[in-house]
Amino acid sequence: MGDNRIIHAHGKVRIDRIDHVGIFNTEIRNYSHQLRMMKRIIQTN
């Protein structure tokens, strides 16, 4: 999966873009969730 992508469920499981504003739904071309806080869960090398 590329950078700035997130797997999440909002009605169905989706892979969407994420940035400093929130989760961007490319189908409706709008933000489905606003970002409030982000914490690294999986450490990458």
Residue 11 has pLDDT above 80, yes or no: yes
* Cα–Cα distance, 37 to 45 (Å, whole number): 22
Residue 43 lies in a domain: no
Three-state SS annotation for 11-33: CCEEEEEECCCEEEECCCCEEEE
Domain of residue 25 covers 5-34
> Model-level pTM?
0.67
- Give the pLDDT of residue 33: 87
Residue 14 lies in a domain: yes
Residue 15 lies in a domain: yes
Residue 44 lies in a domain: no
Give the residues across from 14 on adjacent strands: 8
Residue 29 lies in a domain: yes
* Cα–Cα distance, 22 to 35 (Å, whole number): 4
pLDDT tens string 21-44: 999 998 899 998 888 877 766 766
Q: Considering its fold, how many domains does the chain have in total? A: 1
Residue 25 lies in a domain: yes
Residue 22 lies in a domain: yes
Cβ-based burial of 33 (10 A; exposed 0-12, middle 13-18, buried ≥19): middle
